Amino acid sequence: MKSIYVKASSEPYTIYIGDGIRHQLKELLSKTYEDVMVITDTHVAPLYLDDILHALGSDMKVSSYIITAGESSKSVESFEACHTEAINKGLNRHSLIIALGGGVVGDLAGFVAATYMRGIDYVQIPTTVLAHDSSVGGKVAINHPLSKNVIGSFHQPKGVIYDTQTLTTLSDQEWRSGMAEVIKHAWIHDQDMLQACFRLDTFSEESKEVVEHLLWKGISIKADIVAEDEKEQGIRSFLNFGHTLGHALEAEFGYGTITHGEAVALGMDFALFLSERYTQQESLPREAYQHWLNDHDYPIQILGSLSIEPLIDRMKRDKKNKQQSIRFVLLNKTGQPTLHSFEESTLRRELELFKEYWTSVK
């Protein structure tokens, strides 16, 4: 088992990473709780809920609540339903919520924990590749139909227990989604990691050791950034590389139609396109990235038929924006991100050129 210590300024905590460690859950919790509520989803529950209940043992009062799998559960309705369940189960300020699942469960359950009785403890048990990112750093949120993650808070977990054995049951699409956030960490921080991502022929089991190393690297990069800037006053915004267009695509296509990671993967290509034209100081391996997107079946075909105005409207509501400009994370070079502001009209022109480019390579 490996561990990474997150020196968050509000409260530090440990991330444990290992094969089969869900069975050691009770020992890995920093303390025992009278009441525990496990929040999970309809795909994860039949696979791993029993293991978690068993691992918690019988000296804590444990209940579970199962939400519908998918992005649509990051909603006000599911949020209220979780609170109703917590009240009915008698959870109090000394109780624990466990988020067992991917980023949807983690973001929702974390936000329930952040708000129930003004904040109680929670622990993340991530079960997707993508959740190497979402389970760390305490950004918890639900979506509004007009904007992604716009109702939320910063609330750090008491710990993260990442059992990489759970990744064996993920679909190809979920691997693809998660690997987008892995390569994002590489783009913003690490040339060698980027090359290692490019060298992967397949994701999943066949490249288990390499992927596990990349996940560990990704988590370490994120943990360091969160330790330095927990509330996104500065460098944490670099973790949003690819997300300005990514979030707009995700919402515009309908949450869940393309996954978060797929949308971010495409958003990163736009960020690279803009970087080449505005901030690049050293050439960026964008062509290698496009091969990688193509080889791993990211939905690049949608880029030639984007509806630009609705995307601009959505990007105008991005959380990184200041005054009237739309802010993007771009790169000076691999591993050196920077924030760059665009006037709406400039961005419209750039999106048209980007779309034309993708129409021509179709």
Ligand X SMILES: O=C(O)C(=O)C[C@@H](O)[C@H](O)[C@H](O)COP(=O)(O)O
Ligand Y SMILES: NC(=O)c1ccc[n+]([C@@H]2O[C@H](COP(=O)([O-])OP(=O)(O)OC[C@H]3O[C@@H](n4cnc5c(N)ncnc54)[C@H](O)[C@@H]3O)[C@@H](O)[C@H]2O)c1
Binding flag, residue 188, ligand Y (CB under 6 A): no
Among 35, 181, 212, 230, the residue binding ligand X under the rule CB under 6 A is: 181
Four-residue CA torsion sign, 18, 23, 29, 35: positive
Nearest distance from C-beta of residue 349 to ligand Y, angstroms: 29
What does residue 331 show for φ and ψ, rounded to 5 degrees? Answer: -120, 135
The two beta strands, 139-144 and 147-154, are antiparallel
Choose one: 36-44, 153-161, 305-313, 343-351; the region binding ligand Y (CB under 6 A): 36-44
Binding flag, residue 296, ligand Y (CB under 6 A): no
Among 156, 166, 237, 279, the residue binding ligand Y under the rule CB under 6 A is: 166
Q: What one-letter code names the amino acid at 238?
A: F
Binding flag, residue 139, ligand X (CB under 6 A): yes
Choose one: 6-14, 68-76, 328-336, 342-350; the region binding ligand Y (CB under 6 A): 68-76
Within 296-325, the residues that bind ligand X by CB under 6 A are 319
According to DSSP H, which parts of the chain are helical? Answer: 25-28, 50-56, 76-88, 103-115, 131-134, 172-189, 191-199, 208-228, 243-252, 260-278, 286-295, 308-315, 344-360
Binding flag, residue 272, ligand X (CB under 6 A): no
Residue 317 C-alpha from the chain's centroid: 19
Q: In this complex, which beta carbon is closest to ligand Y, that of residue 259 or of residue 334?
A: 259
Rounded to whole angstroms, what are the CA distances from 191 to 194, 227, 322?
5, 22, 30
335 binds, among ligand Y, ligand X, none (CB under 5 to 8 A by kind): none
Choose one: 81-89, 238-246, 290-298, 307-315; the region binding ligand X (CB under 6 A): 238-246
Binding flag, residue 266, ligand Y (CB under 6 A): no
Alpha carbon distance 151, 172 (integer Å): 30
What does residue 90 show for φ and ψ, rounded to 5 degrees? Answer: 75, 25
236 binds, among ligand X, ligand Y, none (CB under 5 to 8 A by kind): ligand X
Among 133, 190, 230, 232, the residue binding ligand Y under the rule CB under 6 A is: 133
Rounded to whole angstroms, what are the CA distances from 182 to 83, 132, 319?
32, 8, 22
Nearest distance from C-beta of residue 72 to ligand Y, angstroms: 10
Token pair listed for 244:
């300005």
Judged by CB under 6 A, how many residues of this single chain contact ligand Y?
A: 32
359 annotated as belonging to a binding site for a ligand: no
